Structure 1
Amino acid sequence: MTIDVWPPPELADIHDRMAIWAAWWSGEPDDLEAVYAGTGIASVRPPNWLRRRPLNRPSQYKGGIVGALARMFWGRPVSEGELRAKLHLPIASDISVVSANLLFADPLTLKTPDKATTERLQQFQDDGMQATLREAAETASALGGVYLRTSWDKAISDRPWLSVVQPDCAIPRFRYGRLREVTFWTVIEDDGQQRVVRHLETHQPGVIRHQVYVGTPTTLGRLAPLGDFEDTEPFASLVQDGDAIPTGIDLLTAGYVPNIRPNRIWRTYPPGVNLGRSDYQGVEALMDSLDEVWSSWMRDIRLGKARIFADRAMLESEGRGQGAYLDLDREAFTPVDINPMSGQSMINEVQFSIRVQEHEDSARALTEAIVRSAGYSAQSFGLVGDVALTATEVTARKEQSFQTKAHKITYVRPTLGDLYHAMLALDEAVWNRRGIRPQVPDIEWPPGITPDPADTAQTVSLLVSARAVSLQTRVEMVHPDWDEPRVAEEVKRIQAESPSPLDQVPAPGPSPQEHDARPAAQGLAEQDAERPLREGDRAPAHT
């Protein structure tokens, strides 16, 4: 009987940190209070578990360093008898959305030397792949990385596909920085008491293992048959040697995509040294301060509402024991006897000032600091005024965002290439597909900014005037998304429709030495033709 602690203790710190990032990503005030003002985050559960109500910690009420470290704005307890007035500005989720859009807003271009293989990859890409990759990119931005799993089922589709697995529900095994094995776990039953059923799916090269354990919230428990549970019953008839399903290929059918490396907080911690870092890492305090500024701004608006204090004599009585009221829409009031020399006013107005400019400047400064620390340009978040800009100017303003995008692509490309290779191999092994050659494709990302056609035309014109560019290169500059056969076809059309000396390849001519010798030889020939023939120059007669 297995009684191992679950989740594994070595992952506790990693899951705690991911719980904080997940709370900022979700933008739910309850989640933020749970991780900062709750019972602690060491007992964080997967997303499909019930959420606990936050409880205040005694250290949050202490002053000095202890109190400061125990809470931030979202960790401060709400005073008794008051409602929560904290507001959240979802800058964290905005960062993840921008990251996903930079990477996968437009379809990728997949190429291989084999035409049939390239066409098959394009079919994979058209089958909802773009939405999956964008989902994975947003998850990686928030939680520091994401797992992609290759799935297939003949009853569902005639091709394999990719699915996203959350990083806080995985136990990876790395070797020299490369993923060699990973176990995904899912809670399929929880009675809310002491019985928890977990499904473990382990991916290894050439095999996928499925196991079900019945345990408690803190222990893995005992191994149970797959057929005893509805969620795992389909695997019961497929497994061999107890729990293994052979894939028919020697490739790993899952991969890990780090958001960006290195992870500064786990650089010396073996279980987390190979994991990526979140875009929120290091800016949690700034995002907390931004929420405090936003909440203070809204508090000024609430307190700034005009209030009127009226003399009791101005109130209209509803009768004995029925109270009194003041009709603010009434134009004429009953005269009240009051000494005008007393300096008293019958109706006093109270209205606090709303510090709009101060709050706006503070919020903008914090937002720019958060975006810059996360690796993005202010232009990507609309923090710069909307004015007419050329493509070059837009690229310059978004340079930091494009640099971060290029950095992330270096981590996405290898894992994605290996998974496409595995999908091609599965397509051949499971469906007996013929005519394709499983291999790692070349993956190209579209440009982030489409060049202005006028700027491109001007550049090409200057290069043509300088005789520094060929016709084929000109076509490639104007149409960077075209493949080589299409470019060659366009070159032929241009040459056929409007032949130009600049577009034609000159015929091979004489060398410079031959060119210099030609006039002299030509002159001698002309002299020989003009002089009369002498007796010795006559051709011999034939007999």
Structure 2
Amino acid sequence: MLIAENSFWPPLGHDRMRHRWQSWAAWWSGDLDELRTRTPCTAPGGYWARRAAKPGDREMHLPLAADIARTSAELVCGDTPVIEFEDDTATQKAWDDLAQTIGWANTLLEAGEISAALGGVYLRPVWDKNTAGHPLLTTVRADEALPEFRYGVLHSVTFVDELPAPDHWKRRKDAEAWRHLEHHERGQIRHELWLGTTSNTGQLLPLTEHPATEHLEPVIDTTSVRPDGGLLVDYVPNDLPQPLDRLPLGRSDLQGLETMLDALDEAWDSWMRDIELGKARVLLSKEMLDPVSQASSSGGKWGFGRRQNTTPAKAFDTDAKVFVPLDIPAEDAGKPAPITLVQFLIRVKEHYETCMALAEQITSRAGYSPQTMGMHVDGQLSGTAMRRRDHRSYRTRDRKRRYVRPAAERVPETLMLIGAAVFGGPKPKARPTLTWRETDQADPMETANVINTLRQARALSTEIAVQMAHPEWDKTQVGDEVKRLAKEDAALTAPPPTGHEPPVWAKPIQNQPPQPEPEPEPEDDDQ
């Protein structure tokens, strides 16, 4: 992407989704300031819009959006996929070591949560010999990128990093902004440093003008890594299609749920307000709350209801929040004013049912079963019943994994290509294949029953049976187990003893000439 000096920022065509990304990021973070300033655009007139108009009031937030994003990441990437470089032992070993070193599993989890919240994430392989002696893998949020697609395929992308002003810099204008733009294009990566405003690109500066970019090369040739000129980054959409844009930008789990999330916070705040208003109050005359003198009648160090060197307390100041002084006249002359106890009803049932109904609707419309989020989980269920109950969540998980697979197979290849070109590691012969583990759904009793039924019907081999019982095993482990089972089966199927077997210590007779057969006895001739 070519950025012109003193042009509009963000570039035209890239601002349609920006306010929605900012809104989803606010719901995901749960930060009250962000919720107040970023969410009214997607939930106008709601709870947070009113809080923005009247700052200072108490604000409550129920972080269901963050729970949904985290649950999505655990479902999709909680079980680390197996990456196999078939018939390439050297590359496979190098990848296993690298995956452990760079935290491949953790990066996938982070990417899954970002993608669920913002609709997409970029996986960016990088390298820096001064930082590490191997390639590294980072994630870039959807709201920090300016992508260009061709025929549904990522053609180029620019990552935007908002930088603080250098320590030596003196601000010259309001709304000043420093930006590091990292352009990923076919065959190259370009780094640029810009000084502008929140709405203007400003001027292009040398990279040495900022400490965050002074170590970067302006242009990096990537054809040594991918000779075909392909990008080194990959985009992972959370779900498609995107009804708000013609580009294949991913759909957030929170998309279309903003007003319900806003209503949930309002219901939660109303519940907490009921608790505050429901506290017991004692209404009494101000005459009963006269200040207490410094010295007590006992002459002790502390006055009644008041500590030393503090403002005068009241006579009933055992819990000052309980007492409400009012101008209450006495009912009869010469008698003290009445004392009234007040405690309002707390509508627990109504608020609970409202919050639960909203939470169930939000969870279900995000694509998950309420039980997956911890709702309605009373009782003990079998594995079959649990999968049936969480069927919607698993369908959503499988759908998302289809979008993760292409990038999750290409990124390991890119990392190994960087390792070969930059660090002298083994070069992969082909792109690896990805296999998802299914151990999170396995019920041992149910699996055993299925295997037993298929074995009795002679519809399942021993190798497949072992794979079903131990899906986390590799081919070597499965093969070893098959051999052990075959050995045990041979011992179990041996013919029963007859009692005429030679003793164990007896040695077989070898090289002995064959014995002649006995001649038949002559028959008697009585004739």
| Same fold (TM > 0.5) | yes
- Contact kept, 8 Å, 2:162 with 2:180, in 1: the verdict is yes
Residue 96 of structure 1 deviates from its aligned partner by 0.4
Scaled by the length of structure 2, what TM-score is found?
A: 0.80
Q: Which of residues 341, 348, 354 in structure 1 aligns to 2:340?
A: 348
- The change in CA–CA distance for 1:496 and 1:222 in structure 2 (over 3 A counts) is same
Aligned residue among 417, 420, 437 for 2:428? 437
Q: Percent identity?
A: 36
Q: Does 1:394 align with 2:386?
A: yes
Shift of 1:388: 2.1
Once the two structures are superposed, the pairs formed by residues 453-464 of structure 1 within 5 Å of their partners are 453-464=444-455
Going from structure 1 to structure 2, the CA distance change for 1:503 and 1:420 (only over 3 Å counts) comes to farther
TM-score, normalised via structure 1 length: 0.77
Distance 2:65 2:425 in 1: 44
Q: Match for residue 88 of structure 1?
A: 61
Q: Where does residue 228 of structure 1 map in the other structure?
A: 209
SS at match of 1:180: strand
Q: Which residue of 2 aligns with 1:2?
A: 5
Report Cα offsets for 1:182-235 as digits up to 9, x if no partner.
111212244473543221111123211112222233221222222232222222
Residue in structure 2 matching 1:326, options 316, 320, 323? 316
Amino acid in the other structure paired with 1:468 = A
Q: Which residue of 1 aligns with 2:180?
A: 199
Deviations 1:53-101 (A, max 9, x none): xxxxxxxxxxxxxxxx842111014787x84122000000000000111
How far residue 106 of structure 1 moved from its aligned partner, in angstroms, is 2.3
Residue number in structure 2 paired with 1:515: none
Give the match for residue 371 of structure 1.
Answer: 363
Bigger helix fraction: 1
Q: Which range moved further: 484-493 or 15-24?
A: 484-493
The answer to whether the 8 Å contact 2:438/2:471 transfers is: no
**Corresponding residue for 1:493?**
484
Unaligned runs of 5+ in 1: 42-68, 330-336, 505-543
Residue 36 of structure 1: CA displacement?
Answer: 4.4
Structure 1 counterpart of 2:48, which letter? Answer: W
- The answer to whether the Cα contact below 8 Å between 1:456 and 1:478 also exists between their aligned partners in 2 is yes
CA distance 1:341–1:448, shift in 2 (3 Å): farther
Match of 2:96 among 118, 122, 126: 122
**Structure 2 unaligned blocks of 5 or more:** 166-170, 294-310, 320-328, 496-527
| Structure 2 residue aligned with 1:407 | 399
Classify 1:227/1:78 alpha carbon distance in 2 versus 1 (closer, same or farther; 3 Å).
closer
Match of 1:144 among 102, 119, 131: 119
The letter of the residue matching 2:452 is S
Equivalent in 77, 80, 100 of residue 104 of structure 1 = 77
Q: How does 1:525-536 map onto structure 2 within 5 Å?
A: none
Residue 115 of structure 1 aligns to which amino acid in structure 2? T
Residue 242 (structure 2) pairs with residue 263 (structure 1): yes
> 1:151, CA displacement in angstroms?
0.4
Deviation for aligned residue 1:164 = 0.7
Contact 1:424 1:438 survives alignment (8 Å): no
Cα distance in 1, alignment partners of residues 366 and 199 from structure 2: 35
CA contact (8 A) 1:495 1:503 kept: no
Q: 1:448: how far off?
A: 5.6
Map of 1:461-540 to 2, 5 A cutoff? 461-499=452-490
RMSD, matched Cα:
3.0
Partner-residue secondary structure (3-state), 1:122: helix
Report Cα offsets for 1:249-277 as digits up to 9, x if no partner: 233111111110111222xx4xxx21011
Q: Distance in 2 between the 1:342 and 1:502 partners?
A: 108
Inter-partner Cα distance in structure 2 for 1:188 and 1:324 = 56
Corresponding residue of 1:188:
163
Distance in 1 (alpha carbons) for counterparts of 2:443 and 2:478: 20
1:162 to 129, 137, 142: 137
Cα deviation per residue 1:293-312 (whole Å; 9 max; x = unaligned)? 10000000000001011245
Distance, in Å, in 2 between the alignment partners of 1:430 and 1:16 is 40
Tell me, in whole angstroms, the C-alpha distance in 1 between the residues paired with 2:155 and 2:375. Answer: 43
Q: How far apart, CA to CA, are the structure 2 residues paired with 1:347 and 1:219?
A: 66
1:32–1:74: 8 Å Cα contact kept in structure 2? Answer: yes
Contact kept? 1:471, 1:503, Cα under 8 Å = no
Q: How many matched pairs?
A: 457
How far apart, CA to CA, are the structure 2 residues paired with 1:21 and 1:503? 68
